[in-house]
Amino acid sequence: MRKVILVGLIAAMVVAVAAMAAEMPAKVTIKECATTKGAVEFDHKLHVARAKACVDCHHTMKDLTAENVGTMAVESCGKCHIKPEKATTPTCGGKTPKDNAYHLGCIPCHKEAKAAKADSKAPTMCTGCHAKTGA
């Protein structure tokens, strides 16, 4: 009887992990705010593994976890940052590290990774994240 329960629990965990993997993208492309620079594509799985919590990046989704991602609608950053309702909310169209929502979130984390491990591949220059455009 114990073996049947154990096999059932393992099967349930496998199904749960597979469902979670199906809901969470392996790669993400941020293109909704690309104006002068190319879109940014990054390895979402890698960022999930390195982040302390989903809220580190998805700052408005306090309850988001890797376990419940399939049960929640994860909105794009552009929903709030393309045309912010509040003047204090950074846009995603800014060009500098101080006036762009993505830059404010991504660059400090990448610099922290470099400071912790000099050979880290976390990009800190524009071309490290932005795809080159034909222009």
**pLDDT tens series, the chain, 135 aa:** 666 554 455 555 544 444 444 478 899 998 888 777 888 999 999 999 888 899 999 999 999 998 888 898 888 888 889 888 898 888 888 888 888 888 998 999 999 999 999 999 999 888 899 877 765
Gap between the Cα atoms of 2 and 4, Å rounded = 5
Give the tens place of pLDDT for each residue, 36-52: 788 899 999 999 988 88
Gap between the Cα atoms of 128 and 76, Å rounded = 22
Would 52 be classed as within a structural domain?
yes
Domain total for the chain?
1
Query: What does the pLDDT read at residue 20?
Result: 46
Give the tens place of pLDDT for each residue, 66-82: 888 889 888 888 888 98
Task: Report the CATH number at residue 71.
Answer: 3.90.10.10
Gap between the Cα atoms of 17 and 1, Å rounded = 25
Query: Which of 33, 62, 30 lies closest to 43 in space, CA to CA?
Result: 30
Give residue 31's domain range. Answer: 2-129
Would 134 be classed as within a structural domain?
no
Q: 29 forms bridges with which residues in the sheet?
A: 41
Would 135 be classed as within a structural domain?
no
Q: How many whole angstroms from its chain centre is CA 86? A: 23
